[in-house]
Amino acid sequence: MENIKNSNVFILDHPLIQHKISLLRDSNTGTNEFRKLIEEIAMLMGYEALRDLPLKEVEIETPIEKCVTPMIAGKKLAIVPILRAGLGMVGGILNLVPTAKVGHIGLYRDHETHEPHEYYCKLPEPIDQRTIVVLDPMLATGGSGAEAVDFIKQHGGKNIKFMCIIAAPEGLKRLSEAHPDIQIFVGHLDRCLNEDAYICPGLGDAGDRIFGTK
């Protein structure tokens, strides 16, 4: 895991993540395979992003003797996918922490301005006491990510992590400057945005590829 210039940005350069992202990019990868890969990558990224989850000591009895041993403390994790494409990552994180609560933020990018518009927001309470992991496979201009984190903060969220599979430098800059207090986990940092604000080389439209729409 590479930390960019002592900031809160982490590039998750594990070979398994890189391999699966390459498969994801391939335009010959169909919907079924694409969904599986998104979930697997989210799980691998979650393994790193959740390494600071708080633990508590509990007493259990092994077949040999009683012992005090660490377990994840409380049910304090909330995951918040940005609709639609973030939904594809939810199963991967729930595989790791099945008791996590799930909120949703609905945002879509205007095709002309590329700016995000909110259409839905429902967060688990009490949001201020939870570690919140925002999920979106794509961080392009960073508008959607920055706005989603704004909403969560307006609702009282404090301990926020953002997880994206592919980021453009422009989006990473915008999100990390707007919210320097949050940890941002990136699977791969791509080259740039094109004139339609798509990530290059990217993987195309993540929502369409997950849900088989156009």
Backbone angles phi, psi at 33, to 5 degrees: -65, -40
Nearer to ligand PRP, 76 or 168 (CB): 168
Residue 52 catalytic?
Answer: no
Residue of 31, 99, 113, 213 with catalytic role:
113
DSSP SS3 for 152? helix
Residues 74-103 as x/- pattern, contact with ligand URA by CB under 6 A: -----------x------------------
Q: How many CB atoms lie within 10 A of CB 175?
A: 28
Stretch binding ligand PRP (CB under 6 A), from 29-37, 66-74, 183-191, 205-213 = 205-213
Q: Does 211 bind ligand URA (CB under 6 A)?
A: no
Q: Select from 98, 84, 76 the least CA-distant residue to 161.
A: 76
Residues 127-166 as x/- pattern, contact with ligand PRP by CB under 6 A: ---------x-xxxxxxxx---------------------
Its sign, for the CA torsion 138, 132, 42, 207, is negative
Q: Does 205 bind ligand URA (CB under 6 A)?
A: yes
Taking the C-alpha atoms of residue 122 and residue 177, their distance in angstroms, rounded to an integer, is: 25
CB 11 within 8 Å of CB 189: yes
CB 88 → ligand URA: shortest distance, Å?
A: 11
